[in-house]
Structure 1
Amino acid sequence: MDARYEEKTFENYFNNELDRKTSIYFPLGQVQEGIVGLDSAAHSKSWHLWRKLGYPFWFSPPFSGVELQDIANEMERYLSKEVHNIPAMKVNLLFQYKRPQFITMSSGAEWHLWKRKYFRYSLYAEQHALLSHIEATFGQDAVVLYAAPAVEDVSDLVKLKMAGTIIDNTNYRRASELNGHHRNTYIKAGTYSQACSKPKRIENFSLIELIENTEPEAQRENGQLLVKFAKRINSSMLEANGIGYLGTAFVHRMSQFKDYELERFSLFFAILTMSVFREVTGCQWIIPLSSSQNA
């Protein structure tokens, strides 16, 4: 049976705890996401949106809206200040969150591996191929992880949230570790996994240690990191276009912005690219930060 909670609930609890336990940067904050969405931003008549963009408090409907390029220009200035004033960025993390099934009967296909109740989640072939390709392409510049809780129902999930132990009770697997498999199974966080169909034991690792032990690349400015990463993501998705639905969906979504010439707003366009990437793939993009402040 499926674990008895929503995947989005786990994702929100996980991200909130990660924010408290480590120094991270969410490039796709709620303000940016609301603004970069073409459907909600271009020619928008939302008074709240324009207040966020710095328009005067007396500026209120009815009015005809603002061109998307004007929004991009405002966001470019906002993002430039924001990324300059945060610590040095270390590495790009891409999380694919999974809500597992909880297998309670011996008829489960992988029961013989554990001989007890266990968790499992399936890999979607095209999605996994894309994530594995991104991991291979970026090397040390990106870590691509599946994250799945070892939690049966929402009451246990809430208890872990209150105790601040969601991260410790989550199973992590690098995308590359699951190449050639269609499922991953585990009994609890902190122990090894068994990837299937041909069983393979994969040792666990600490997410917090992974983040803390990663060093930022020397002589790389935050804005340049964001722009470079988004361009390479865009290239990876273009390579996937025509092969399957993810690449095709990404290209179609990005085509909506073609006539606006937004590429000249490099930071804004990078955030826009990653917003569409998340929308299409479901991957959360997170960047750990250095503990020392920029000058």
Structure 2
Amino acid sequence: MKVGFEEKTYESYFNNELDSKSSVYFPPGQVLEGFFGFDSASYSKNSDLWEKLNYPFLPFSGVNLLDIARDLEAEIGHLIDKIPNIKSNLLIQYKRPEYMEKPNSKEWQYWQKEYYRYQIYLKQQSILSKIDKSFGNRALVIYASPAINNIEELVSLKIKGEIIDNSNFKKASDLNNHSLNTYTCAGNYSIAFSEPEKLENIDLISELQKIEDSYYLDNKKWILNTSEVIAKNMKNVKSFNDLMDEYIKFKEFSFIYSLLTMKVFREITGVQWVLNIHT
């Protein structure tokens, strides 16, 4: 059965801890989400409408979101300039596993004790694999899954700052041609299936620290390049293209459009984008 907490709860705790333990930066999504939350509201110059909505300051002519976008584009540019030099991208696919505790579980013979298991979806894996290949050593593309069984244990580890230490990490490239991954704890190794394959796990923080910066771009070019790589790899995904079409009017604003690309990418795939930076 599935572990006793939601994937979003684990993801939230994980991100907070990662932010405190490593030189990472979560892109300015809140500013953008606030802006496009406003974008989902009605834009109208109809004074009768605003009067019905009890807007107290009449006459009111509305606000053109493209004018706001110009100011926001400049603000995002200033924000990107303030970030220390970007070293690499970290792309995380979170997985909520099943906890297999019965001897008749299919993979029990390989562990001979309780273990965790999550599915690897072909389309999702194909996207991650292509992205990993496109970025090379400029990105770490991983699956992150908790070796935690229930909400009480999750909260206890969150308080102690030990969520990452109790998570299992696999490079997406290691799971090509597999449909399942299994493990018993955070470290040591995993066994992936269909054909059983023993795979060594990684230490996330150590992996981030040792990534070589053999490729340099200034921060603004890095952000733009990242979104271009993602868009190229998502070009055949209809749902991605449909959502991006909704934002086509903002394409002239390069930083806004880049962050929108990453926002839609996350909505479609669930992959968290994090920047590994120099401190």
Q: TM-score, normalised by structure 2?
A: 0.91
**In the alignment, structure 1 residue 281 sits paired with structure 2 residue 269:** yes
Structure 2, unaligned stretches of length 5 or more? 46-54
1:74 to 58, 62, 71: 71
* TM-align CA RMSD: 2.1
1:48 is matched with: none
Q: Flag structure 1 segments of 5+ consecutive residues without an equivalent.
A: 46-58, 242-246
1:118 to 1:70, Cα distance in 2 relative to 1, 3 A? same
- The match for 1:193 is 190
Moved beyond 3 Å, runs of 4+: 36-39, 41-45, 59-65, 215-219
The answer for the alignment partner of 1:204 in structure 2 is 201
Give the one of 120, 138, 143 matched to 1:141.
138
Counterpart position of 1:5: 5
**2:179 maps to which of 182, 199, 211:** 182
2:157 to 149, 160, 165: 160
Larger Rg: 2
CA drift at 1:213: 1.7
Structure 1 counterpart of 2:40: 40
% same residue: 43
The residue that corresponds to 1:50 in the other structure is none
1:84 to 2:76 alignment: no
Give the 3 Å change call, closer, same or farther, for CA 119–219 of structure 1 in structure 2.
Answer: closer
Partners of 2:44 and 2:184 lie apart in 1 by 49
Residues 3, 99 of structure 2: 8 Å contact kept: yes
Q: CA-to-partner distance for each residue in 1:235-268, whole Å, 9 max, x for gaps? A: 1111xx2xxxxx110000011122x1x2221111
Q: 2:95 aligns with which of 89, 93, 98?
A: 98
Match of 1:249 in 2: 239
Cα distance in 2 for partners of 1:86, 1:141 equals 17
Once the 2 structures are TM-superposed, how far is the Cα of residue 98 of structure 1 from its aligned partner? Answer: 0.4
* Count of equivalent residues: 269
Q: Measured at CA, do residues 196 and 35 of structure 1 come closer, stay the same or move farther in structure 2, by a change above 3 Å? A: same
Give 1:17-28 correspondences, 5 Å limit: 17-28=17-28
Residues 202-223 of structure 1: per-residue CA shift (max 9 Å, x gap) = 1111100111222445541101
The CA distance in 2 between the partners of 1:289 and 1:143, in whole Å, is 13
Shift in alpha-carbon separation, 1:253–1:109, aligned structure 2, 3 A: same
- SS of 2:247's equivalent in the other structure is helix
Q: 1:85/1:111 Cα in 2 relative to 1: closer, same or farther (>3 Å)?
A: same
Indicate how the Cα distance of structure 1 residues 269 and 111 shifts in structure 2: closer, same or farther if over 3 A, else same.
Answer: same
Tell which deviates more after alignment, 89-98 or 67-76.
67-76
Cα 1:142–1:65 shift into 2, 3 Å: farther
Q: Letter of the aligned partner of 2:18 in structure 1?
A: L
Q: Tell me if structure 2 keeps the 8 A contact 1:42–1:68.
A: no
The answer to whether the Cα contact below 8 Å between 2:137 and 2:211 also exists between their aligned partners in 1 is no
CA distance in 1, matches of 2:63, 2:220: 26
